[in-house]
Amino acid sequence: MIIDYVAIGKKLASARKSAHMSIDTVSEKTRIQAKYIQAIENGQVDKLPGIFYVKAFIRQYANTVKLDPNTIFDKYTVPEDEKPKLAKAQKEEDLLNDKKIIVGDDMIPRAGVSSVAKKTWNKYNSKIPVILLGVFFLAALFSGWQALSKLHENSKNSSQVLIDSSISSESKQVATESSKSKKELSQKDESSSSSNSVIPLTKAGYNNSLATYNFFDDKTHDVVIQVSANTWTTVEIDGKQVFSGIISAGAQQAFSLDEKSNTISIHMGNPVAAVILFDEQNINFMDGAPVLTTDVTINRTK
């Protein structure tokens, strides 16, 4: 089935005007650049950043102007005699179908799980019972080894009691003082090491598609975004946009959060292809996320 993007664009434009919204207003609410909003309304989906963004942008636009993002594509199909003209669009549609969009309870479109990911999960899911059996076996061996170690340790302790009874109280006191000195030196070294170490980011907090980090100093920090595939990205520092566009595959964008800046906000259209470094350390913003994370905020907490 081939989708009539021109008809969809007209429908979205009509809904926008009925809601008394300008193109710039829709752009601000969806974080989609105004030129892409205009391209969608004109049915010129080939001007969007890539195949993945076509359905994602249209659904997000539809949701903003109070249209159902789940059925927006169902109502517009091209007649049979138009197929030769839209053969290229058909191929793009087939690719899009493999990357479906999930609209959650909050009506915000997000990328779902592709068929490739599902096949991979099914492949490894069948091996889980074997893995669990192996873990149980290793746990049993470890428990047996611990029991033997305790038996051997008790035997050594019994022998040591007989030897210790012959040691004078003066020798014991010297040994105790020596042990205390070593412990105090160790504590000083640990304190010194702790004072010189860099305070890391806090563990990520997740709220739907947003991952939030905090740090607690007044120093300048470097934030670098590296991507393995074309990724549409916007970056704001203290609410001011400093970058908006596509980061090409294999490239990176670097930003500096000086001592006067408090917040850097990053919005990405293809986060699975991105890595974010904070002072050269990977923050692993996707680890533990309940959904596909598309927004990352790093705050300075004083």
Task: Report pLDDT digits (tens) over 46-95.
Answer: 999 887 889 899 999 999 999 998 888 887 765 556 555 555 555 555 45
pLDDT at 60: 94
The confidence score (pLDDT) of residue 103 equals 42
Coil vs helix vs strand at 236: strand
Among 16-30, 38-52, 160-174, 196-210, which stretch is predicted with the lowest mean pLDDT? 160-174
Q: Do domains 5-111 and 205-300 have the same CATH topology?
A: no
Assigned fold of 5-111: 434 Repressor (Amino-terminal Domain) (1.10.260)
Nearest alpha carbon to residue 2 among 61, 69, 85: 85
Q: How many CB atoms lie within 10 A of CB 86?
A: 16
Question: Which pLDDT belongs to residue 104?
Answer: 45
Asked whether 235 and 243 are in contact (CB, 8 A), the reply is yes
Q: Which helix (H) or strand (E) holds 213?
A: strand 210-215
Per-residue pLDDT, averaged over 238-254, amounts to 93
* Mean pLDDT computed over every residue of the chain: 77
CATH number at 205-300: 2.60.40
- Token pair of 5 as six digits: 């993007």
- Of 62 and 179, more confident: 62
Q: How many CA atoms lie within 13 A of 148 on its CB side?
A: 6
Q: What is the pLDDT of residue 109?
A: 45
Residue 213 φ/ψ, nearest 5 degrees: -125, 155
Higher pLDDT, 158 or 101: 158
- For residue 231, the one-letter residue type is T
User: How many CB atoms lie under 10 A from the CB of residue 49?
Assistant: 18
Cα distances from 17 to residues 73, 151, 195, 283, in angstroms, run: 20, 82, 59, 42
Q: Where are the domains of the chain?
A: 5-111, 116-142, 205-300
DSSP state of 46: G
Confirm whether pTM is higher than 0.75.
no
Out of 128-132, 195-199, 274-278, the most confident range is 274-278
pLDDT at residue 196, as a whole number: 43
- Among 67-81, 104-118, 248-262, the minimum mean pLDDT is found in 104-118
Please give the Cα distance from 300 to 278 (Å, whole number). 13
Token pair for 223: 């934030």
Average pLDDT over residues 222-248: 92
Three-class secondary structure of residue 186 per DSSP: helix
Give the residue from 235, 212, 236, 222 showing the smallest Cα distance to 301: 212
